[in-house]
Amino acid sequence: MPLSIDEIIENFSFIDDWEERYRYVIELGRELEDLPQEAMTSENKVEGCVSQVWLTTEVNGDASNPTLTFQGDSDAHIVKGLVAIALATFSGKTAKDILGTDADAIFDQIGLRDHLTPQRSNGLSAMIGRIKSDAQKALG
């Protein structure tokens, strides 16, 4: 069972050293289920990421506020960990909840943005943008 974003935030609060935090991000990525090879298509690729990042979206439930489930993967260890954090934040939530979630506040709470390279930070923003775009599309 994947960790919730609240559990991840709590775990980060116990780690002071940024090298250890990076190791934790990598570990989160290792625990993320691999995306099937057939899902690694150009359609599922997240544009704006330096590393290869793929994201699939499944929409279920009430058409007025559907639930979205995401799966993702990356060819880079740290980025795959960032994918895991994004999925913990958004997957399994309703479209309206996704659109109302302040991802920047969550990543600031973890302190992650201050320690990411500009390329990784841009990639993370691209991934969140894709998730929010999919939520908007699901609402029609």
**What are the catalytic residues?**
49
CA dist list (Å): 62 to 71, 77, 133: 20, 35, 18
Beta bridge partners of 54: 45, 73
Alpha-carbon torsion, ordered 118, 120, 124, 125, to 10 deg: 20
Q: Indicate the residue type of 33.
A: E
> How many angstroms separate the CA atoms of 100 and 114, rounded?
23
In this structure, what are the phi and psi dihedrals at residue 111, rounded to the nearest 5 degrees?
Answer: 85, 20
**Residue 3 exposed, middle or buried by CB count within 10 Å (0-12, 13-18, 19+):** middle
